[in-house]
Chains A and B, each alone.
Chain A
């Protein structure tokens, strides 16, 4: 069944799809977004129930394979030390993200020039800065202005509380003379744009029942829809169709009833993240594009970057925040920039993640052998309960073509669409960076008073950030989209998600994904008269 043609068809209603839809709504064009997930009901998020920690292992798990919702698609990540994490809904993975909301640094756009690795981006920090600021207002970024690790930027809302955990670790950083600062977060610390302020539920990564965390279903989407954008949920796109001129003509998708439909469009915008977007492009083969759409460079699906994470947690004698408060707290950029004496290039951010709930405490203690079975269980448990705090190190992942997304030859979703297959290996540079990060974090934890350290590197389930698989650039032989997000090959096809990242930086990507989406929307609006030239 065919639908009436639309002007702009956006695939995916997550971080980038929401931002690009809101911005393009200015044009009064007919804009439709197809989202394979549902609208989420915050009243049903886990923190509303006693089983709030348990549901993070079940229907709100970060792994689509474990979660297995009807709105998910499976991912074959068996050939990767890091498993893919995502969420499929209006809001996408912002439903489950912690709300860490750092910007890239100016150097992140120039890694080849500065450090001789990766590639430079075709744009710079100054170009994105106004779009960062616009995204900050829409998101309601909480933070403290004046961070010496960044060029000047203004926070919209006050920072999240340091709490006992932040205070304790801040003293450790100070003892060593290392940088730290209250994190920029997507957690509203005061009422903002119809959202209420954070009340320290502590379950941010399972969805925010309070609505304080800026998932895009409650930030951009209400504004975009009031401006006329239509969102269709439970619509699973199979492939992008092309016409005889090599232009995208629309997409084939399955609706909520499983019926195959065709939606014609003048412009198609991909916003399905660094795994979902190459999956659809590679599945969009034709006589004109036998290797997948927009893939004349052969780079669709290649250069997958995750951000290898290390978790380094300390056990303290005094009571800390435990289950209370958002996971976001403070960060340190002490080891962000390259210092080759460390044995690796580029760097990482430490993000202090406050504490953990009673179930997670038990799991951590029992799995690490610190809480025994039997009569001693209770005393050992109480030695850990509300006494664990620490950090993750989010390490810059460099682009390598052998790290890639392809189509699995056997595994499919419920509609028979091939599942993505991940082939990923940790580089020697990443391994060294992780080891260094664990060592330095252990130093700061001990300086802060930790009596014991628990670490994991890489975090096996930590493939939260999916980047690089349809990179942007000026050279069509070395990139998939140009410097304003348009496919080199298909001139009415745009990509606005993390796929277009050239490098990963050592920070969470969402703020940059959204700034890029706003920038690309702005470029589209400025070029409407000759958009396809």
Chain B
């Protein structure tokens, strides 16, 4: 370890965090129509970073892949690109279908869709399932009438 490195449990440096925020913000932007924040919203992004700390490898690899795209298509690291080139690099990255992309999508979805504002927008109470639970309609058991009328289908052995 070099002398000027500060020990931290954050697996991402500032440029990587910024790149990840750009990815998740492009993935799920804010919407006035649905009254929901972006996935790069500070509260949601902090939740994403907490999850990344538990499983950093695919995210770090994904961000390296994004840098590779930036270098090969736009002539520099992602952090050095202008907004238009960043958006283009992210669009290319989003089409890669790679395992690390899948991991980033998964972590983003896990954190975004448990945010109070997002759950409220979906008509959900912002709470865990337990202990209140949910109501489910009993359904219509008279639908079984034709099944009963058909009779036995099990095979004698």
> Which residues on A are within 8 Å of B, measured CB to CB?
45, 47-54, 57-58, 105-107, 109-110, 113-114, 124-125, 144, 146, 148-151, 161-164, 166-167, 170-171, 173-174, 177, 179-182, 199-203, 209-210, 321, 323-325, 333-334, 336-337, 357-359, 361-363, 366-367, 373-375, 377-378, 382, 385
Contact = CB atoms under 8 A, between A and B. Distances in A.
Contacts of A373: 26-28, 91, 94
A390 B157 CA distance: 31
A57 B110 contact: yes
A325 B147 contact: no
A177 B146 CA distance: 8
A209 B130 contact: yes
B155 to A, nearest CB: 4
Contacts of A325: 134, 136
A363 B128 contact: no
B151 A148 contact: yes
8 contacts: A50-B126, A107-B154, A146-B148, A164-B139, A167-B139, A323-B124, A373-B91, A378-B33
B80 interface: no
Contacts of B78: none
A164 B124 CA distance: 17
A47 B133 CA distance: 9
A124 B157 CA distance: 9
B46 interface: no
A362 B155 contact: no
B156 A106 contact: yes
Contacts of A374: 26-27, 29
Interface string B109-149: 11111100011001010111111111111111101101110
Interface in B18-71: 26-29, 31, 33-34, 36, 51, 54-55
Contacts of A203: 129-130
List of 10 A-B pairs having minimum Cβ-Cβ separation, nearest first: A162-B139, A199-B133, A324-B134, A362-B109, A106-B157, A358-B113, A325-B136, A201-B129, A209-B130, A54-B110
A180 B147 contact: yes
B157 A210 contact: no
A53 B29 contact: no
Contacts of A148: 147-148, 150-154
Contacts of B143: 162, 167, 170-171, 174
A377 B128 CA distance: 24
A179 B153 contact: yes
Contact of A162 (B28, B55, B114, B140): B140
